[in-house]
Structure 1
Amino acid sequence: MEDNSLEKKFSNFIVIVSILIPVVVALLFSVKLKDYGYEVKPLSFLPPIYATINGITAVVLIAGVLAIKNGKRILHERLMRTAIALSIAFLVMYVAYHMTSDSTKFGGEGIIRPIYFFLLITHIILSIAVIPLVLITFVRALANKFDKHKKIAKITFPIWLYVAVTGVVVYLMISPYYVN
């Protein structure tokens, strides 16, 4: 029964964090420090860094799945913790960039335009949806509920991987339109 109490203990935390992160990000996304009198240089160097972090996250996620399939539980755990840390680092840099820089408009035309917006919209929606999935998956592993962990991980992994990969693709598609 100890394991169930661990899941219950974290359930409110997961709900709060899953709501708070998208709300805070949306609010901070609309905050421009220069509008509040702060003289800050745009952090225009961040997008290629956080896009790279997304790419590394994708590689770490795949390595984590391969590790567990090969029975390397400790390596799997370390890789998943690394993927979470990378995702947090991405989020901090993403918010910092948008608080110091104007949004970049996508300039592509033709068929590439709806493809870009499809990828961007699904990326954003799934990046919100993956927050509780990652947290629930992680807590179930901490609680040693590996059957439940494995069940939700089969849902979490492809969504998280999609978010990481599309983050890179969206960056590559919009990068020609960044202004330094």
Structure 2
Amino acid sequence: MKEKNIDEKYSIEKKFNALIITLSIAVPVLVAILFKVKLKDYGIDVEPLTFLPPIYAFINGITAMLLILGVYAIKNGNKKMHQNLMQSAIACSVVFLVMYVAYHMTSDSTPFGGVGIIRYVYFFILISHILLSIAVIPLVLITYVKALSERFDKHKKIAKITFPIWLYVAVTGVIVYLMIAPYYVY
């Protein structure tokens, strides 16, 4: 395989810059808007998708495992496995997002019923999870584009920032689900 010259590498990155910016803004805004949209309010009669939360929590867990395995693969020099694992982690994150939005468009939000210190712990984890899930979008996209453009020095540098944030978001997604699961009404 022929190595890309520096102009080709920058050209690939330039092609994706507008998309990265657009998705980094549009995804959180659309999720926030769609989170407030209830299909029943628009006369669309659908059953609440109450079965989704454990599934998308499981997908968050899978994402965390894929991220860890991806780091393990690259540290052992297996670039192809690393690439496949990271692409799978991105796909899992997209599937999670679709399910999350679908659930919230068909079901009322579940209030956390815990009291005392656990309530503060829950909201700390939830708020940090939400804020970092917004921040991780451009980080993942930039990291991925650096790899696509074969600028592996830059990829590695930003991946050291992206990985712990993305892993935190995936793991706290599972924790948030486990903490609120007793309060779901099925």
Identify the TM-score tier after normalising by the shorter chain.
Answer: over 0.9
Give the one of 77, 88, 95 matched to 1:71: 77
Deviation at 1:94, TM superposition (A): 0.1
Residue equivalent to 1:46: 52
Residue equivalent to 1:155: 161
Deviation at 1:9, TM superposition (A): 1.0
The reply on whether 1:126 has 2:132 as its aligned counterpart is yes
Whole-Å separation in 2 of the counterparts to 1:60 and 1:12: 28
For normalisation by structure 1, the TM-score amounts to 1.00
Give the one of 144, 147, 150 matched to 1:141: 147
Number of positions where the alignment pairs a residue of Structure 1 with one of Structure 2: 180
For normalisation by structure 2, the TM-score amounts to 0.96
1:30-74, CA deviations, whole angstroms, 9 ceiling, x for partnerless residues? 000000111111000000000000000000000000000000000
Q: Which runs of 5+ in 1 are unaligned?
A: none
1:94-142, CA deviations, whole angstroms, 9 ceiling, x for partnerless residues? 0000000000000000110000000000000000000000000000000
Whole-Å separation in 2 of the counterparts to 1:179 and 1:36: 23
Q: Summarize the alignment of residues 9-158 of structure 1 with structure 2, pairs less than 5 Å apart.
A: 9-158=15-164
Q: Please report the RMSD computed on the Cα atoms of aligned residues, expressed in angstroms.
A: 0.3
Q: Which runs of 5+ in 2 are unaligned?
A: 1-6
Runs of 4+ aligned structure 1 residues displaced above 4 Å come to none
